[in-house]
């Protein structure tokens, strides 16, 4: 006589499927929000803003990593007062993994240091950029926010890192040369199918009205001639204390927390955090590796 285990009676298969434990639901992968700090020309204070805003976001409870992609002319490690053992040179040379290159800083955020004075880093090819894309994806699994300090200008390697971000903080000064170069980058961004949100930070202003007027001027040109709206993140005043700071001193936000510049920096931190939290609420966004690989293929 056959046992019940040997007979597939009507409905028994359905019952077995019903009683079988369903596999646990896989949680949605939540990547870090990527913010690129860009400028049309050097010397606008891009790295100064990157490092101070990273500290401000860390103070607000976010897990923050800074990736210095100013290939060959990096200085974020100096502004953080850090002396990492490994840098972008070791990562892109295949000698170290991203987790080995990632280093702590004395002020909270983690750092992937760039190379300084290394000419080979200024001539990276598609293979190196693919390695960087994969490394950023691995970092994005560990942090809430990645801040990329990009090289100034329109070099393909620089634009690929800028376009890896969901938000671009365009750092400029009120001078006409800085504004002209900033617009050149904005025009390049406007031609992309998948365009990041552009926030303007005006550094070294003599008064708050000048910061807003600078934004209004660039925003109007961008809207009329590039069809790309930009948003105002804020302005940072001209302060002799910034230019006179020496190596080994704490970043401005911590070293002189009550000065006018630090108050302005905290305003930028709050505005950027709002953008980050808003972006985290959008489901289904493509990851940083996919965004970069799209640009590398077009390159």
Q: How many residues does the chain have?
A: 299
Picking from 294, 70, 279, 298, the residue whose alpha carbon sits closest to that of residue 164 is: 294
Following CA atoms 116, 171, 65, 104 in sequence, which dihedral angle do they give, to the nearest 10 degrees? 50
Tokens representing residue 202 in the block: 């005006």
- In the sheet with 197-205, reading across from the earlier edge strand, the strands are 103-104, 110-112, 64-69, 145-150, 33-38, 167-172, 197-205, 231-237
Cβ atoms < 10 Å from Cβ of 63: 15
Tell me, what's the pLDDT at 117? 66
123 to each of 17, 118, 156, 296, how far by Cα in Å? 58, 10, 10, 14
125 band by pLDDT with thresholds 50, 70 and 90:
very high
Tell me, what's the pLDDT at 22? 42
- Strand, coil or helix: 172: strand
For 74-95, what is each residue's pLDDT tens digit? 999 999 999 999 999 999 999 9
Radius of gyration of the chain (CA): 23
Instruction: Measure CA 40 to chain center.
Output: 17
Angle made by CA atoms 165, 81, 205, in degrees to the nearest 5: 60
Higher pLDDT, 38 or 298: 38
For 226-285, what is each residue's pLDDT tens digit? 999 999 999 999 988 787 677 778 999 999 999 999 999 999 999 999 999 999 867 667
- For the chain, list the domains and their CATH numbers: 33-298 (3.40.50.300)
Mean confidence (pLDDT) of the chain? 89
Instruction: Measure CA 281 to chain center.
Output: 18
Q: Is the pTM of this model over 0.85?
A: yes
């Amino acid at each position: 006589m056959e046992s019940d285990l040997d007979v597939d009676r009507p409905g028994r298969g359905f019952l077995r499927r019903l009683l079988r434990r369903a596999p646990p639901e896989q949680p949605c992968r939540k990547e870090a929000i990527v913010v690129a700090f860009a400028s049309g020309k050097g010397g606008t204070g891009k790295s100064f803003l990157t490092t101070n805003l990273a500290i401000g976001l860390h103070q607000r409870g976010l897990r923050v990593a800074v990736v210095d992609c100013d290939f060959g002319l990096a200085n974020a490690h100096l502004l953080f007062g850090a002396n990492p053992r490994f840098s972008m040179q070791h990562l892109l040379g295949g000698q170290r993994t991203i987790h080995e290159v990632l280093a702590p800083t004395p002020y909270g955020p983690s750092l992937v240091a760039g190379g300084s004075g290394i000419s080979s880093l200024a001539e990276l090819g598609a293979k190196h950029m693919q390695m960087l894309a994969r490394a950023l994806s691995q970092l994005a699994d560990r942090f809430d926010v990645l801040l990329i300090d990009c090289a100034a200008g329109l070099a393909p390697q620089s634009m690929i890192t800028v376009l890896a971000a969901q938000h671009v903080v365009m750092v400029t000064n009120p001078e006409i040369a800085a504004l002209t170069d900033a617009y050149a980058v904005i025009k390049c961004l406007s031609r992309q199918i998948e365009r990041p949100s552009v926030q303007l930070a005006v550094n070294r202003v003599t008064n708050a009205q000048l910061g807003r007027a600078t934004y209004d001027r660039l925003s109007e040109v961008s809207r009329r001639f590039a069809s790309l709206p930009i948003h105002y993140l804020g302005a940072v005043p001209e302060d002799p204390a910034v230019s006179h700071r020496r190596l080994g001193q704490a970043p401005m936000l911590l070293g002189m927390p009550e000065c006018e510049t630090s108050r302005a920096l905290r305003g930028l931190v709050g505005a950027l955090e709002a953008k980050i939290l808003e972006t985290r609420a959008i489901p289904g966004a493509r990851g940083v590796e996919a965004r970069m690989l799209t640009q590398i293929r077009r390159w």
